[in-house]
Each structure stands twice: as structure tokens, then as C-alpha cells.
């Protein structure tokens, strides 16, 4: 699929046939009493595999909602979401879980590590939940901690780690099941700019070296400008801008 050359090499939007991730006419409406909140309004979006996409927009513009739809944590009110061979809008709860295990690694602004577990156990958690055997879990978790350069901190609990280290643990957790898609919701939001730069660099490296497709939500486009292939701007639930980032010409 990816080997097919793009019909328009300068267009940031891949041809539908080539897209790894696709949203067609997707809306998400939250009923709020007598009125409704439109978190997303007929969004069309295609993302090619192994690319780095930045999603920007004001607070409340629908960025998190977009990520949650891609993670099958929510279902669209209208429209169609496809990731690889998965038709997300058609999945039942059990299939959603399978999809998340196979396809998605999630990274959050607040890290969301389990406070009582060591870094190692946090990283291995998705494999535990998926019922993977202990020996394989161990090997994978060690490899992923190595990828985020935290092997020496494996036995520490989140409270004993810095913000940047916690986020790297969270990234290792997102990588442990080797999913093709990484969804990061403001992963740098709680970090200083130096540490934030390290996280961005790490995710960019994962995309290049391990072929991950990264969707990265941020308030500060500047911090991803150097590594993002393209940027999608949301405003009030609509895609108002999409384009090559300067970096994609590299």
C-alpha cells in the first residue's frame, strides 16, 4: 500500500488508497441537556503510515476527541474511522480492546502511570493485560526501557522519577506491545522545554527507526516543527488548516 507512489507528491494528504489512518465525515457530538456540544464537525483526514503528524488547535478545539476516536476509546456520532484494516466505527467493546492491544500505543499529558508499580511493571502492564507469558513480557519490557534509555531506573516507582523520565516510561509502555500507531496527547504539556524537546526527539526517532506512525497533539507547534511531516489544525471541531510542515521537505 505504501509502495504506491503518491499521485501528488507535494500534497500533505496521502491518497485514500495509501492512507494508513483515515477519517471520513467524522463528527462527535456530546449531548448536554437541551443543547449539544460539537467536539468534531465532519472531519476528513488521511494519514500515511510511518509519518509524524502534529495536531494543533486552541483548547477545546477537539484534539483529544480526535485521538480518542483513533484509539477506539470513543465511537463517532457520524462518519467512518479506519486504521489499517480496522473499521473502528464497527467494533464492539471486545473488538475495541483487541484493536487497542494490537494497534495503539497511547501517551498522555499526565503520564497516567500506576503509582504503586515500578517503571518496569508499568511498562509491562499492557502485556500483562493481554495475557502474554512472563518470559516474553520481561524481554519486551527490558527492550523498551532500553529504547527510552531508562534501564537503570527499571526498579523505581513513578514518584521517584522526574517528569521527563515518567513520560519516557509511558512511551516505553506505549511501545511494549509493538503497535504501529502511537497517539500522544500533549505529551510535553507538563514538561520544561528542554525535556519536551527530548520527548519530541524520542518520538521522531521511533518513527524513523521503528516505523511508527505518530499522531502528536500539542499547543506549541514550534516544538514539533522540526520533526513533523505535516500539521493539522483544528478550530471548534473543524480542520481549518493542514499542510506540510517545514520539516517534511527534509
Partner 1 sequence: MRLVDLVSLAFANLKRNRVRSAMTLVGVAVGVAALAALLAYGAGLQRTARGEFEALDLHNALRVTSQPSPLGAAGDVAFLPQSSFDLDSLPPPVALTDSLLKVIEGLDGVFAAYPEIVFPVRLKAGRRAVVATAEAVPQAFGALPAYRPEAGAFFAASTDSTLLLAPSMARRLGFEPPESIVGDTILVSSATLNVRALRRGNPGVNFGMVAPPVGYRGYWLRVAGLLPEDGQAVSGLFRVILPLELAKGMRKITFFSTLDLLMRGAAAGGYSAVRVHLADPEAYAAVRRALRERGLYVTGFRDQFARLERLFLVLDLALGIIGFIALLVATIGIANTMMMNVLERTAEIGVMKAVGGDEGDLQRLFLIESAALGLFGGLAGLGVGWGIAALLGAFVDRYLHGLGLSGIDVFYLPPWMAGGILALAVVISLAAGFVPARKAARVEPIRALRSAT
Ligand X SMILES: Nc1ncnc2c1ncn2[C@@H]1O[C@H](COP(=O)(O)OP(=O)(O)OP(=O)(O)O)[C@@H](O)[C@H]1O
Binding site for ligand X (CB under 6 A): 30, 32, 37, 39, 57, 59-65
Nearer to partner 1, 154 or 177 (CB): 177
**CA atoms in the 13 A half-sphere facing the CB of 84:** 13
Strand order in the sheet with 19-32: 35-48, 19-32, 78-83, 86-87
Instruction: Identify the CA nearest to 193 among candidates 185, 201, 183.
Output: 201
Could you tell me the smallest distance in angstroms from the CB atom of residue 105 to partner 1?
Answer: 8
Interacting positions 91-120 with partner 1 (CB under 8 A): 93-94, 97, 100-101, 106, 108-110, 112, 114, 116-117
Kindly indicate which of the ranges 7-15, 124-132, 153-161, 201-209 contains the residues binding partner 1, using the contact rule CB under 8 A: 124-132
Nearer to Mg ion, 169 or 234 (CB): 234
- Listed in order, strand segments (DSSP E) in the chain are 19-32, 35-48, 52-57, 78-83, 86-87, 104-108, 181-185, 213-217, 230-235, 238-244
* Binder among 51, 64, 122, 213 for Mg ion (CB under 5 A): 64
* Pair type for strands 213-217 and 181-185: parallel
| Residues 47-86, mask of contacts with partner 1 (x by CB under 8 A) | -----------------x---x--x-xx------------
Is residue 31 within the footprint of partner 1 (CB under 8 A)? no
CB-CB contact of 223 with 216 (8 Å): no
Cell matching residue 47:
494519514
Could you tell me the smallest distance in angstroms from the CB atom of residue 50 to partner 1?
Answer: 22
Is residue 61 within the footprint of Mg ion (CB under 5 A)? no
Could you tell me the smallest distance in angstroms from the CB atom of residue 63 to partner 1?
Answer: 13
Could you tell me the smallest distance in angstroms from the CB atom of residue 192 to partner 1?
Answer: 18
* Pair type for strands 52-57 and 213-217: parallel
Interacting positions 162-201 with Mg ion (CB under 5 A): none
Amino acid at each position: 500500500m505504501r509502495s504506491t507512489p503518491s499521485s501528488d507528491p507535494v500534497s500533505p494528504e496521502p491518497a485514500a488508497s495509501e492512507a494508513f489512518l483515515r477519517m471520513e465525515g467524522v463528527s462527535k457530538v456530546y449531548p448536554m441537556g437541551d443543547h449539544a456540544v460539537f467536539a468534531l464537525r465532519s472531519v476528513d483526514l488521511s494519514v500515511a503510515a510511518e509519518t509524524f503528524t502534529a495536531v494543533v488547535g486552541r483548547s477545546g478545539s477537539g484534539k483529544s476527541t480526535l485521538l480518542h476516536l483513533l484509539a477506539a476509546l470513543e465511537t463517532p456520532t457520524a462518519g467512518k474511522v479506519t486504521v489499517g484494516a480496522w473499521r473502528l466505527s464497527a467494533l464492539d467493546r471486545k473488538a475495541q480492546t483487541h484493536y487497542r492491544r494490537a494497534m495503539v500505543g497511547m501517551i498522555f499529558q499526565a503520564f497516567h502511570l500506576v503509582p504503586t508499580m515500578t517503571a518496569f511493571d508499568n511498562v509491562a502492564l499492557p502485556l500483562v493485560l493481554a495475557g502474554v507469558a512472563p518470559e516474553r513480557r520481561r524481554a519486551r519490557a527490558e527492550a523498551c526501557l532500553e529504547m527510552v534509555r531508562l534501564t537503570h531506573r527499571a526498579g523505581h516507582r513513578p514518584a521517584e522519577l522526574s517528569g521527563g523520565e515518567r513520560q519516557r516510561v509511558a512511551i516505553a509502555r506505549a511501545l511494549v506491545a509493538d503497535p504501529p500507531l502511537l497517539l500522544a496527547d500533549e505529551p510535553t504539556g507538563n514538561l520544561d522545554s528542554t525535556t519536551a524537546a527530548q520527548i519530541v526527539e524520542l518520538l521522531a526517532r521511533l518513527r524513523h527507526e521503528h516505523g511508527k506512525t505518530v499522531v502528536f497533539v500539542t499547543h506549541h507547534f514550534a516544538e514539533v516543527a522540526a520533526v513533523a511531516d505535516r500539521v493539522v489544525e483544528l478550530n471548534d471541531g473543524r480542520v481549518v488548516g493542514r499542510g506540510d510542515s517545514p520539516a517534511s521537505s527534509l
